[in-house]
Amino acid sequence: MLSYAVRRLLEAIPTLLVIVALSFFLMHAAPGGPFDSERVLPPEIEANLKAAYNLDKPVWQQFVIYLGNALQGNFGPSFTYKDFGVSELIGTGFPVSMRLGLTAILLAVLVGCTLGILAAMRQNTRTDYSIMGFAMIGITIPNFVMAPLLTLIFGIYLGLLPVAGLGDGGMRNLVLPVVALALPQIAIISRLTRGGMVEVLRSNFVRTAHAKGLPERLIIWRHTLRAALLPVVSYLGPAIAGLVTGSVVIEQIFGLPGIGRYFVQGAINRDYTLVMGTVITYGTLIVLMNLLVDLVYGLLDPRVRYD
Partner 1 sequence: MVKDMTGAAQRSALIEKAAEEVQGRSLWQDARRRLFANKMAVASMIVLGIIALMAIFADVLSPHAYDEVYWDYIGVGPMLENSHWFGTDANGRDLFIRTLYGARVSLMVGIVTTLVALVIGVTYGSIAGYFGGRIDSLMMRLVDVLYSMPLMFFIIILVVVFGRHIVLVFIAIGCVEWLTMARIVRGQTLSVKRKEYIEAARASGVSTPNIIRRHIIPNVIGPVIVFVTLMVPVVILVESFLSFLGLGVQEPMTSWGVLISEGAAQMENAPHMLIFPAVFLAVTLFCFNFIGDGLRDALDPKDR
Region of 44-52, 108-116, 151-159, 202-210 interacting with partner 1 (CB under 8 A):
151-159
Identify the three-state secondary structure at position 170. Answer: coil
Q: How far is the CB of 141 from partner 1 (least distance, A)?
A: 5
Identify the three-state secondary structure at position 77. Answer: strand
Quickly list H helices, 202-271: 204-211, 216-218, 225-228, 230-254, 259-269
- Phi, psi angles (nearest 5°) of residue 11: -65, -25
Q: Tell me 222's DSSP state.
A: I
Q: Are 87 and 262 in contact (CB under 8 A)?
A: no
Residue type, 180: A
Q: How far is the CB of 148 from partner 1 (least distance, A)?
A: 4
The count of chain residues that interact with partner 1, using the rule CB under 8 A, is: 44
Q: State yes or no: residue 273 binds partner 1 (CB under 8 A).
A: no
What x/- string results for residues 204 through 243 when contact with partner 1 is judged by CB under 8 A? -------------------------------------x--
Residue 107: is it exposed, middle or buried by C-beta count within 10 angstroms (0-12/13-18/19+)?
A: middle
CA pair distance 307, 4, nearest whole angstrom: 7
Among 51, 268, 296, 299, binds partner 1 (CB under 8 A): 268
Region of 55-63, 121-129, 249-257, 298-306 interacting with partner 1 (CB under 8 A):
249-257
Q: State yes or no: residue 252 binds partner 1 (CB under 8 A).
A: yes
> Could you tell me the end-to-end alpha-carbon distance of the chain, in angstroms, rounded to an integer?
9
Q: How far is the CB of 123 from partner 1 (least distance, A)?
A: 18
Q: State yes or no: residue 254 binds partner 1 (CB under 8 A).
A: no
Q: CA 201, 206, 209, 213: dihedral to nearest 10 degrees?
A: 30
Q: State yes or no: residue 13 binds partner 1 (CB under 8 A).
A: no
CA pair distance 65, 56, nearest whole angstrom: 13
Distance between alpha carbon 283 and the CA centroid of its chain, in Å? 10
Region of 40-48, 91-99, 206-214, 280-288 interacting with partner 1 (CB under 8 A):
280-288
Q: State yes or no: residue 27 binds partner 1 (CB under 8 A).
A: yes
Residue nearer to partner 1 on the CB measure, 209 or 276? 276
Q: State yes or no: residue 14 binds partner 1 (CB under 8 A).
A: yes
Q: How far is the CB of 192 from partner 1 (least distance, A)?
A: 16
Q: How far is the CB of 220 from partner 1 (least distance, A)?
A: 27
Q: Tell me 169's DSSP state.
A: S
Residue nearer to partner 1 on the CB measure, 14 or 43? 14
Quickly list H helices, the chain: 2-29, 43-52, 59-71, 86-121, 126-140, 143-150, 175-201, 204-211, 216-218, 225-228, 230-254, 259-269, 272-300
Region of 10-18, 86-94, 170-178, 185-193 interacting with partner 1 (CB under 8 A):
10-18
Q: Which residues are near partner 1 by CB under 8 A?
A: 14-15, 18-19, 22-23, 26-27, 29-31, 136, 139-142, 144-145, 147-149, 151-152, 156, 241, 244-245, 248-249, 252-253, 263-264, 267-268, 270, 275, 278-279, 282-283, 286-287, 290
